[in-house]
Amino acid sequence: MRLDPRAKLILFAAVNIVGLGAPFSGGGGIVRMVETGLVAALLALEGSWTMSASALAATGAGLAAHTWLSPSGVAVLAAGAVNLFARFWPVVLLGCYVLSTTTVSEFLAALRRWRLPTALTIPFAVVMRFLPTLAQESRAIGDAMRSRGLRLGGGRPGAWLEYRLVPLTMRAVAIGDELTAAALTRGLDRHAERTSLARVGFRPPDWALAGAAAATLALWWTLL
Amino acid sequence: MITLHNLTHTYPLPADACGGAPGAALDGVSLTVAPGEVVVLCGPSGCGKTTATRLVNGLLTASGVGDGDSEGWVRVFGFDPGVTPTAQLAQRVGSVFQDPRTQFFTTDVLSELAFGGENLGWAPARIRARLDEVSARWGLDGLLGRSVFALSGGQKQRVICAAVDLMDPPALVLDEPSANLDAEASARLAQAVADWKARGKAVLIAEHRLAYLIDAADRFIRLEAGRITHHLTPTQLTALGPATQAALSLRPIPPPNAAAAPKTPGGGGGMGLVEMREVGYWRRVGPASAGVGRGRHRQVVRIDHLTVRAGEIVALTGPNGAGKTTALRWLAGVARGGRGELVVDGVRWGRRRRLGGVALVGQDVNVQLFANSVLGEVRLARRGLSADDAAAILDRFDLRHLAARHPLTLSAGERQRLAIAAALAAGRPLIALDEPTSGLDLAHMRQAAAALQELAAQGRAVLVATHDQDLIAACATKTHPLTPPPMATPTAQNASGPPGF
Amino acid sequence: MENGKLDTRALIQTGVFTALYVVVLAVFGQLGALIPILQVMGPFYIPMVCGIPFMLFAARVRAFGQITIMGILAGALVFLTGQSWVVLALAVVLAPAADLIARAGRYRRFPLTLAAYVVFSEMLIGMVVPLFFMRGDFIARISQRHDDAWVNALVNLTPTWMFWVMIAMIAAGAAIGALLGRTLVAKHFRPAGLVT
């Protein structure tokens, strides 16, 4: 299902605020269940059943730990760890969902509708383009370090950091220069008015999603 | 019409990042490319080819800072690229560059094709119409929804050509577009160039590898030290013969028969026979890297039996996608998993043993150089290697005079030789190299071949993955063609995904 | 190198370094999740390591605004990968401040660049703000259902003074990171011709 990136971002903001901030008890618990259900449903629609189940499991564990673990000794640490994980995990999963189901052009089109300046949208597009590239380059550097026996910096931890980061930074600069050349010769100009092929626009599912996000936030505030 | 009139260009700094030598990068160059004409600029590295292309597509003056000074003038269909605004220029000159991996601004094929039209502010309907046209012409219909990271090098280069074509510029500038392509992809690129020519485009190409363009090109212009030395038609170029071509530091045309010239292996070292037996490797293929969605496993390498002896240089050949790179990564122990075994003198080497016993010179040497001097790089290869011994190794590879330089200030050819020197210094019996000559001119390719022969002479067993026919002809003692494994057989228990980030 | 023009080139360069900063942040942050000792030291060593790409970026800045954009985008990405919105809110304030400080030295005076990086790095404190300050309602609610031991134990795990210690750790880590970055700029990036 193709959703408007803005609807996804609104849902993400709501899940982030509630997920990291809300309690597990009372209204917080209810709101958490609703939002986790939405996250799990979206992931399931993409066919990521494991991730979907893990979102439900994390929230379930958080609620269970909150309800049943008694606050003494080791249990406090265990409950704390579960609590922390249950807070972060659905947010992280939704973040993965947003990033991997939205193309860069969709993001750009959506952010333009929100009237973000090109000074932010162009670097944002570059970041999205660069993250996989950096992962590839970093893997290649890791390979080279292992193959050359420098995996742990050849015995010096300071050197390890240097070997890891210096070639990566150099490659990033070089690739950035080539990317700049490619972008300029294909007419990217921050002052020009761009159009977009990506179809963004709120359709019923988007309204439903954004509405649900707003409703959970409202629900949390009223139940507090 | 592309016109360069008495053009001289000087970079502000010697030894510029573009590989420019001190002095004028271009010196009084005049040439024209008429509509429907394909002109190829050739010559040794640093001869000014790239500078010329960057003056035509406006990159050298786009920022106006630190780009150096030009005299003379350039016109592209009446426009001066140096002062034409970016968007207007993009509609007049299309550019394709060397590395297909770095030319993408977006992450999926459809967005990449639309990118130019969007930048120019075209209405979506107009972009869509053009998109349908170019994707049909370039055979991309099946790729539109794909992530660019899932494409082969040849496919990427084709997408870039199509993306440039979407804006329908009358002039095209290509800077070493085939450097990272195999024979088949190069041939398709040549077809594309021929197609542009037939449609009346003025095409200017800077290239080292000339053979694939021999049918598409109208003229070859050879530059040296910024000056034009030769104007040649394809017939004249071919008629020069290999000896004269070599003297002009041009790659031989027609290319040598790769399987030819069996050479006697170099001096035998301590170790005799290296065997790869029944090697197979599987990889998860599927949705984009972030990992939401389903994937499956597919075999990417299959080698039944391959032998390399000490002193031999075995060329591992085959089209892109045949698994050459993965095979070498498995061999060197950096790729986990997989199946099969490496047997050295009758002893089976497990992954750890391979990691310590095989020196790997990967495809991109830029990410394999860690020291801040050339000498330091060689000393880093083996603990306790003295400066004198390291300098002696540099001598063998003609790098001694660069000992104090930072590795990244070297030319591509010198960097490649440095990585090879470091592999020798590591003192390992088996050395695996991945495409060591991509993007090198004839002189540097020859030096790389000499470097490989030096490794063999030192008693190393050398396995080199390459599709460079000239390199194979120059130094390989044997070739081992690799074919892409069939698409089937996804067996879960053999899952050997790439190591995590 | 500063010529005051925030053109397309400068924007692409900013995106490149933002990606680098975010990747280093994420990778070394994950390292902390795996090794408990590092978890405690996170506020110190993460800004230290990120100082390497940041200092090279600062040395290549062409125009005012680049550090601001990097900060806001990094904050937004950290937010998108599951951290508190407070990071983004802090970034919107701290990144322009850092940019102004660095500009006061025309991006070339090391003490000011160091100060800018310290200010820039403090946005990371936003990641732990929920642990310290948004627990008020949380504690109020659970204290209705559980006895005080529960509440005390949780409060003891995250005493408020730890928050100020973390701010100081970030500052110290960032300062050392800036020095480390400067060292590597001198050792590698300048000889390699990346910084003029």
Task: Encode pLDDT of A110-138 as tens digits.
Answer: 888 888 898 999 999 999 889 888 988 99
Amino acid code (one letter) for B181? L
Are the C-beta atoms of residues B7 and B69 closer than 8 Å to each other?
Answer: no
Query: Cα angle at A75 between A70 and A77, to 5 degrees?
Result: 130
Mutation choice for B interface testing from A186, A194, A196 by most B CBs within 10 A:
A186
Indicate the domain borders of chain B. Answer: 1-92+171-255, 97-168, 273-494
Percent of chain B with pLDDT strictly greater than 90: 34
Residues of A in contact with C31 (CB under 8 A): none
The pLDDT score that the predictor gives to residue A67 is 76
Higher pLDDT, C84 or C60: C60
Q: Which helix (H) or strand (E) holds B71?
A: strand B69-76
Q: What is the pLDDT of residues B414-463, one digit of tens each?
A: 899 999 999 989 889 899 999 898 878 888 888 889 989 988 998 889 99
Radius of gyration of chain A (CA): 22
Q: What is the pLDDT of residues A171-186, one digit of tens each?
A: 999 999 999 999 999 9
The pLDDT score that the predictor gives to residue B286 is 56
Mean pLDDT of the B123-137 span: 93
Of the segments B10-24, B342-356, B484-498, C129-143, which one has the largest average pLDDT value? Answer: B342-356
DSSP string, chain A: ----HHHHHHHHHHHHHHHHHS-SSHHHHHHHHHHHHHHHHHHHHTT-HHHHHHHHHHHHHHHHHHHH--SSTHHHHHHHHHHHHHHHHHHHHHHHHHHHHS-HHHHHHHHHHTT--HHHHHHHHHHHHHHHHHHHHHHHHHHHHHHTT-TTGGG-HHHHHHHHHHHHHHHHHHHHHHHHHHHHHTT--TTSPP---S-----HHHHHHHHHHHHHHHHHHHH-
- Going by C-alpha positions, the residue among A63, A72, A51, A53 that lies closest to residue A22 is A63
Q: Which two tokens stand for residue B445?
A: 């390719």
Are the C-beta atoms of residues B230 and B221 closer than 8 Å to each other?
Answer: yes
Q: Do A43 and B122 touch (CB under 8 A)?
A: no
Q: What is the pLDDT of residues A12-37, one digit of tens each?
A: 988 888 887 777 777 778 888 888 99
Superfamily of domain B273-494 in the CATH hierarchy: P-loop containing nucleotide triphosphate hydrolases (3.40.50.300)
Q: What is the dihedral of CA A130, A146, C29, B337, to 10 degrees?
A: 80
| Helix, coil or strand: residue B372 | coil
Are the C-beta atoms of residues C114 and C107 closer than 8 Å to each other?
Answer: no
Q: Do A100 and B291 touch (CB under 8 A)?
A: yes
**pLDDT bucket at A11, cuts 50 / 70 / 90:** very high
- Going by C-alpha positions, the residue among B310, B357, B324, B342 that lies closest to residue B434 is B324
Locate the chain B residue with the closest alpha carbon to A132. B289
Q: What is the pLDDT of residues B154-167, one digit of tens each?
A: 889 999 999 999 99
Q: Report the side by side order of strands in the sheet with B24-33.
A: B24-33, B2-10, B69-76
Strands B296-309 and B93-96: unpaired
Whether residue B134 is predicted with pLDDT greater than 90 in this model: the reply is yes
Q: Which two tokens stand for residue B181?
A: 């392509």
Query: Cα angle at B187 between B186 and B191, to 5 degrees?
Result: 115
Percent of chain C with pLDDT strictly greater than 70: 79
**pLDDT bucket at C133, cuts 50 / 70 / 90:** low
Residues of C in contact with A166 (CB under 8 A): 52, 184, 188-189
- Going by C-alpha positions, the residue among B341, C72, B296, C148 that lies closest to residue A47 is B296
Predicted complex ipTM: 0.86
Q: Which of C16, C81, C149 sits opposite A71 (nearest CB)?
A: C149
Whether residue B497 is predicted with pLDDT greater than 50 in this model: the reply is no
Compute the Cα dihedral for A16, A21, A25, A31 and give only its sign.
negative
Q: What is the pLDDT of residues B343-377, one digit of tens each?
A: 888 889 888 899 888 999 988 888 889 998 999 99
- Tokens 């700049």 sit at which residue? A180
Both ends of chain A: CA-CA distance in Å?
A: 34
Q: Which two tokens stand for residue A68?
A: 């049943």
Q: Give yes or no for A127 touching B (CB within 8 A).
A: no
> How large is the angle between the packed helices B153-166 and B183-198, nearest 10 degrees?
10
Residues of A in contact with B369 (CB under 8 A): 167
Mean pLDDT of the B382-399 span: 88
- The C-alpha atoms of residue B96 and residue B178 are separated, in whole angstroms, by 10
The pLDDT score that the predictor gives to residue B16 is 42
The pLDDT score that the predictor gives to residue B499 is 32
β partners of residue B219: B39
Q: What is the pLDDT of residues A143-156, one digit of tens each?
A: 899 888 887 766 67
The pLDDT score that the predictor gives to residue B13 is 59
Are the C-beta atoms of residues B477 and B262 closer than 8 Å to each other?
Answer: yes
Q: Which of C24, C73, C83 sits opposite A123 (nearest CB)?
A: C73
Q: Closest approach of chain C CAs to the CA of A147, in angstroms?
A: 21
The pLDDT score that the predictor gives to residue B292 is 56
**Which other chains touch chain B, taking contact as 3+ CB pairs less than 8 Å apart?**
A, C
Locate the chain C residue with the closest alpha carbon to B86. C8
The pLDDT score that the predictor gives to residue B123 is 93
Locate the chain B residue with the closest alpha carbon to C23. B501
The pLDDT score that the predictor gives to residue B397 is 86
- DSSP letter assigned to residue B405: S
Supply the mean pLDDT for chain A: 85
- The C-alpha atoms of residue C90 and residue C72 are separated, in whole angstroms, by 9
Q: Which helix (H) or strand (E) holds B199?
A: none
Q: Closest approach of chain B CAs to the CA of A74, in angstroms?
A: 33
Amino acid code (one letter) for A33? M
- The C-alpha atoms of residue B176 and residue B142 are separated, in whole angstroms, by 27
Q: Do A147 and B93 touch (CB under 8 A)?
A: no
Q: Which of A51, A140, A197 sits opposite B118 (nearest CB)?
A: A197
- The C-alpha atoms of residue B152 and residue B224 are separated, in whole angstroms, by 33
Q: Which two tokens stand for residue C67?
A: 């550090």
**pLDDT bucket at B4, cuts 50 / 70 / 90:** very high
The pLDDT score that the predictor gives to residue B290 is 44
- The C-alpha atoms of residue B155 and residue A179 are separated, in whole angstroms, by 18
The pLDDT score that the predictor gives to residue A48 is 86
| Helix, coil or strand: residue B16 | coil
The pLDDT score that the predictor gives to residue B66 is 54
Indicate the domain borders of chain A. Answer: 5-103+200-223, 117-185
Are the C-beta atoms of residues C98 and C120 closer than 8 Å to each other?
Answer: yes
The pLDDT score that the predictor gives to residue B304 is 86
The pLDDT score that the predictor gives to residue B264 is 60
The pLDDT score that the predictor gives to residue A74 is 65
- Going by C-alpha positions, the residue among C54, C52, C75, C64 that lies closest to residue C1 is C64
Mutation choice for C interface testing from B63, B366, B369, B370 by most C CBs within 10 A:
B63
- Going by C-alpha positions, the residue among C57, C49, C42 that lies closest to residue C180 is C49
- The C-alpha atoms of residue C149 and residue A149 are separated, in whole angstroms, by 52
- DSSP letter assigned to residue C99: H
**pLDDT bucket at A71, cuts 50 / 70 / 90:** low
Supply the mean pLDDT for chain B: 84
Q: Which helix (H) or strand (E) holds C60?
A: helix C36-60
The pLDDT score that the predictor gives to residue C11 is 94
Whether residue C157 is predicted with pLDDT greater than 80 in this model: the reply is no
Strands B219-224 and B202-206: unpaired
Whether residue C31 is predicted with pLDDT greater than 80 in this model: the reply is no
Say how many residues make up chain A.
224
Whether residue B235 is predicted with pLDDT greater than 50 in this model: the reply is yes
**pLDDT bucket at B262, cuts 50 / 70 / 90:** low
Q: Do C193 and B62 touch (CB under 8 A)?
A: no
Higher pLDDT, C159 or B91: B91
Q: Which helix (H) or strand (E) holds C156?
A: helix C148-157
Of the segments A155-159, B389-393, C129-133, which one has the largest average pLDDT value? Answer: B389-393
| Helix, coil or strand: residue B227 | strand
Locate the chain C residue with the closest alpha carbon to B371. C188
- The C-alpha atoms of residue A25 and residue A27 are separated, in whole angstroms, by 6
The pLDDT score that the predictor gives to residue C154 is 58
Whether residue C149 is predicted with pLDDT greater than 70 in this model: the reply is no
Whether residue B130 is predicted with pLDDT greater than 80 in this model: the reply is yes
The pLDDT score that the predictor gives to residue B160 is 94
Mark out the alpha helices in B75-221 (DSSP H runs). 86-90, 109-119, 124-137, 153-166, 183-198
Q: Give yes or no for A163 touching B (CB within 8 A).
A: yes
Cβ neighbours for C58, distance < 8 A, ≥ 6 positions apart: C67, C102, C107, C113, C116, C117
Q: What is the pLDDT of residues A187-206, one digit of tens each?
A: 998 888 888 888 888 899 99
Indicate the domain borders of chain C. Answer: 8-189
The pLDDT score that the predictor gives to residue B378 is 92
Diameter over CA atoms, chain B = 70
Amino acid code (one letter) for C174? A
Percent of chain A with pLDDT strictly greater than 90: 26
| Helix, coil or strand: residue B234 | helix
Whether residue A5 is predicted with pLDDT greater than 60 in this model: the reply is yes
Whether residue B291 is predicted with pLDDT greater than 80 in this model: the reply is no
**pLDDT bucket at A209, cuts 50 / 70 / 90:** very high
Q: Do B124 and A141 touch (CB under 8 A)?
A: no
Whether residue B494 is predicted with pLDDT greater than 50 in this model: the reply is no
- The C-alpha atoms of residue A133 and residue A130 are separated, in whole angstroms, by 5
- Tokens 């010096």 sit at which residue? A156
Q: What is the pLDDT of residues B190-205, one digit of tens each?
A: 999 999 999 999 999 9
Q: Which fold has domain B1-92+171-255?
A: Rossmann fold (3.40.50)
- Going by C-alpha positions, the residue among B411, C14, C49 that lies closest to residue A172 is C14
Q: What is the dihedral of CA B425, B431, B437, B439, to 10 degrees?
A: -80
- The C-alpha atoms of residue B256 and residue B471 are separated, in whole angstroms, by 10
Are the C-beta atoms of residues A45 and C123 closer than 8 Å to each other?
Answer: no
Task: Count Cβ atoms below 10 Å from residue B425 Cβ, excluding itself.
Answer: 21
Whether residue B146 is predicted with pLDDT greater than 50 in this model: the reply is yes
The pLDDT score that the predictor gives to residue B444 is 86
Q: What is the dihedral of CA B24, B28, B29, B30, to 10 degrees?
A: 160
Residues of A in contact with C52 (CB under 8 A): 161, 165-166, 169
Whether residue C30 is predicted with pLDDT greater than 80 in this model: the reply is no
The pLDDT score that the predictor gives to residue A120 is 93
Compute the Cα dihedral for B395, B400, B403, B407 and give only its sign.
negative
- Residue B102 phi, psi (nearest 5): -105, 5
The pLDDT score that the predictor gives to residue C146 is 52
